[in-house]
């Protein structure tokens, strides 16, 4: 295995890179967050995760894999399944759904409702707004019954979708997140769900940022506290039950850099607001994204065996970004690694090796290198001469 430290390459990027809490390639539809060191900021939330959305880098992990009750954060999955129906053309935003007595009765016992009329019919888009903006439990039941025939059948679809997403520590028992011993998740799973909601349905994501909605002559405001501040926040959902405490899933974007955080287990709405804002500002203040490699740029040369050229320029198939702590930018190393010379002929885009990015307190990051251009195979005479040279003088 040959290795070559690319100190000049890194210097050429204009970066002086040091130890970072986490590092990952980007962008990716569903990245696996890299392991992180102990939290570098305190939070009163019992469970928390803060992620750089573009790279998947986990900036803060506090009990991210502990089981919790999601409360109304589970409505993110309810919305996701509804959006699947819309995408497949099985319903439209203008379709009307009937209000059963079961759905209507929600307003008698639950504080989160859009107040749908008994025996009435409600437009799908109104129900979506009622579910997301007003956190309406009654809206969730109307949607579930109208689309799947029953709440139980809709919940089955939620759990199947969770499996497809890889939410291995999640199980839903209802569509509104009311307490149930069979309902559980983790803040990491909720962050994955939030990521899918943003990436898979950008055409519907705007509902998450709407500040109020009036239905049945009742105006209610979005309960996401950071939507009302100039922080770049555009979603996603709040939740609260006595058992779960106050929780929130926040997504914000500034200068094309999105931060995602999920916090659960706070004692009040005030605490939920202050903690979510504190962690958001910390993530933007302490970390930044840097482009390490631009797709197509030659970063090194890989050795070639029996080719018309002895080396082939190596590049990456896509732009590669890293998330780095701004205060730590000098100890990162980038090394080109080749297990053996590439056998000619070499096709453009063929894997030829990898870049290994290392820094203290982080897991290594491997980035695949590919050939930037083809290298034809030597003719028969050339192969014979190369083989003879190898036996006489070795590989050098």
Rounded to whole angstroms, the Cα distance separating 31 from 51 reads 11
The question of whether 135 is a catalytic residue gets the answer yes
The CA-based dihedral angle spanning residues 209, 215, 220, 221, taken in that order and rounded to the nearest 10 degrees: 10
The whole-angstrom separation of Cα 127 and Cα 105 is 16
The SS3 assignment for 36 reads coil
Q: Which of 72, 112, 191, 273 is catalytic?
A: 72
Q: Which residues are CB-contacts of 302 (< 8 A; sequence separation ≥ 6)?
A: 311, 312, 314, 336, 338, 341, 342, 352, 353, 369, 371
The sheet carrying 245-254 orders its strands as 57-62, 47-52, 257-266, 245-254, 233-241
The answer to whether 348 touches 291, Cβ cutoff 8 Å, is no
Hey, how many other C-beta atoms are within 10 angstroms of the C-beta on 219? 10
Using alpha carbons, select from 20, 31, 25, 17 the residue that is nearest to residue 260: 31
| Cβ neighbours for 126, distance < 8 A, ≥ 6 positions apart | 114, 215
User: What is the CB neighbour count within 10 angstroms for residue 305?
Assistant: 17
Q: Which of 135, 191, 273, 276 is catalytic?
A: 135
Instruction: Label residues 321-341 b or e (16+ Cβ within 10 Å = b).
Output: bbbbbeebbeebebbbebeeb
Catalytic residue among 62, 74, 75, 251: 75
Active site residues: 72, 75, 135
């Amino acid at each position: 295995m040959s290795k070559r430290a690319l100190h000049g390459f890194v210097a050429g990027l204009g970066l002086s890179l040091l130890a970072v809490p986490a590092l990952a390639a980007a962008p990716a539809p569903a990245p696996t967050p890299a392991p992180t060191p102990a939290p570098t900021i305190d939070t009163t939330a019992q469970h928390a995760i803060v992620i750089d959305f573009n790279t998947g880098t986990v900036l803060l992990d506090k009990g991210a894999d502990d089981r919790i009750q999601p409360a109304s954060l589970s409505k993110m999955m309810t919305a996701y399944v509804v959006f699947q129906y819309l995408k497949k053309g099985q319903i439209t935003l203008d379709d009307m759904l009937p209000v059963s007595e079961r759905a209507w009765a929600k307003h008698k016992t639950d504080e989160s409702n859009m107040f749908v009329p008994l025996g009435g019919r409600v437009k799908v888009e109104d129900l979506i707004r009622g579910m997301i903006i007003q956190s309406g439990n009654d809206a969730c039941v109307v949607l579930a019954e109208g689309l799947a025939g029953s709440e139980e059948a809709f919940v089955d679809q939620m759990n199947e979708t969770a499996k497809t997403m890889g939410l291995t520590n999640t199980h839903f028992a209802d569509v509104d997140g009311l307490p149930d011993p069979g309902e559980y998740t983790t803040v990491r799973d909720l962050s994955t769900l939030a990521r899918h909601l943003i990436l898979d349905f950008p055409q519907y994501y705007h509902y998450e940022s709407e500040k109020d909605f009036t239905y049945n002559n009742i105006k209610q405001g979005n309960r996401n506290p950071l939507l009302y501040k100039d922080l770049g926040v555009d979603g996603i959902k709040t939740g609260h039950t006595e058992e779960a405490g106050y929780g929130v899933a926040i997504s914000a974007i500034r200068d094309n850099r999105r931060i995602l955080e999920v916090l659960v287990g706070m004692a009040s709405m005030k605490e939920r607001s202050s903690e979510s804002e504190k962690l958001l500002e910390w993530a933007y203040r302490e970390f930044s994204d840097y482009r390490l490699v631009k797709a197509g740029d030659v970063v090194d040369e890989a050795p070639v065996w029996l080719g018309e050229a002895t080396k082939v320029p190596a590049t990456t198939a896509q732009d590669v970004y890293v998330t780095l702590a701004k205060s730590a930018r000098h100890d990162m190393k980038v090394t080109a690694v080749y297990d053996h010379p590439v056998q000619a002929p070499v096709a453009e885009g063929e894997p030829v090796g990898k870049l290994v990015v290392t820094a203290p307190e982080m897991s290594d990051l491997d980035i695949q290198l590919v050939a930037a251009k083809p290298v034809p195979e030597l003719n028969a005479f050339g192969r014979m001469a190369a083989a003879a040279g190898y036996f006489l003088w070795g590989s050098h």
